[in-house]
């Protein structure tokens, strides 16, 4: 079974967002929405693993709250990739990156950072184990909005599961847009193959020009 990891994270602090103004752009008015936008039981299991790791390894770790617009954007891109949709890093065939997709799915154009991660694997546990955790070492800085809203989506294709995750900063004194606090659809986890090869993740990061070079 092919196991491929591609982690794409774009940390963007509020001050930098104000300077660049890039995160206030309008969406590309592309499609959004699938039959499984709301997170299910397995996606919540993935979220629990990610939360545990952040709590154990990062300072000022905030509770991650699922957000409807982020879930919808993640679910759409997972389904798009599972169907063999073309992509150029974060982009889809409509020319949208993950921030554009989030806007098209109802995310408010707030000043703050957002990052996207993707992986081809099978179960939630395998996805959490295969993702290089160093890519998510984006601690909360008390000077800026906390990294606290999340969307998780997955879609199956050819015996694999495409997982997409979106993390976003949002004001601490406001609820994440269309917050979802429990699974609305409890689907059975995909069966784990008897012999699953150990993944050798390869990852790369994308940064806003002028913010950092990597």
Assigned token pair, 47:
């979220």
Domain range enclosing 165: 4-169
- Measured between alpha carbons, how far is 115 from 107 in angstroms, rounded to an integer? 14
Give me the count of residues in the chain.
Answer: 214
pLDDT at 43: 92
* Contact by Cβ (8 Å): 90, 8: yes
CATH of residue 43's domain is 3.40.33.10
Residue 126 host element (H or E):
helix 124-130
Residue with tokens 């929405």: 33
- What span, in angstroms and rounded, lies between the C-alpha atoms of 180 and 66? 5
Is 184 inside a domain boundary?
no
* Residue 90 φ then ψ, to 5°: -80, -15
**Cα separation values, 184 from 33, 41, 89, 151, 195, Å:** 16, 8, 31, 14, 31
Is there a domain that residue 123 lies in?
yes
Q: What is the mean pLDDT of residues 113-127?
A: 74
In a domain, 117, yes or no: yes
Q: Pairing state of beta strands 4-8 and 114-121?
A: antiparallel
The answer to the question of residue 20 being in a domain is yes
The confidence band for 181, taking pLDDT boundaries of 50, 70 and 90, is low
The pLDDT of residue 130 is 61
pLDDT digits (tens, 9 = 90+) for 67-117: 999 999 999 999 998 888 776 677 898 989 999 999 999 999 877 788 887
The pTM for the full model equals: 0.70
167 and 114 in contact (C-beta within 8 Å)? Answer: yes
144 falls within a domain: yes
- Evaluate whether residue 119 is within a structural domain: yes
Residue 56 lies in a domain: yes
- Residue scoring higher pLDDT (66 or 16): 66
Provide the 3-class DSSP secondary structure of residue 5. strand
State pLDDT tens for residues 13-45: 222 222 222 344 555 578 998 888 889 999 999
β-strand pairing of 147-157 with 4-8: unpaired
* % pLDDT > 90, the chain: 21
In a domain, 209, yes or no: no
Question: How many structural domains comprise the chain?
Answer: 1
pLDDT, mean over the chain = 69
Phi-psi region of 113 (alpha: psi -120 to 50; beta: other; left: phi over 0): beta
């Amino acid at each position: 079974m092919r196991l491929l990891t591609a982690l794409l994270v774009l940390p963007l602090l509020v001050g930098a967002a104000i300077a660049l103004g890039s995160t206030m752009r309008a969406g590309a008015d592309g499609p959004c929405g699938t039959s499984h936008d709301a997170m299910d039981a397995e996606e919540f299991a993935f979220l629990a693993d990610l939360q545990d790791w952040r709590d154990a390894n990062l300072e000022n770790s905030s509770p991650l709250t699922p957000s409807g617009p982020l879930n919808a954007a993640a679910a759409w891109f997972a389904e798009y990739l599972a169907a063999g949709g073309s992509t150029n890093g974060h982009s889809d065939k409509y020319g949208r990156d993950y921030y554009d997709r989030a806007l098209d799915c109802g995310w408010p154009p707030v000043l703050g950072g957002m990052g996207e991660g993707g992986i081809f694997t099978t179960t939630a546990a395998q996805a959490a184990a295969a993702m290089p955790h160093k890519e998510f070492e984006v601690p909360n800085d008390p000077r800026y909005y906390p990294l606290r809203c999340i969307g998780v989506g997955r879609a199956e294709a050819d015996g694999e599961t495409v997982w997409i995750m979106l993390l976003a900063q949002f004001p601490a004194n406001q609820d994440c847009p269309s917050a979802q606090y429990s699974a609305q659809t409890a689907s059975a986890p995909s069966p784990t193959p008897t012999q699953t090869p150990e993944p050798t993740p390869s990852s790369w990061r994308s940064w806003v020009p002028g913010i950092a070079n990597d």
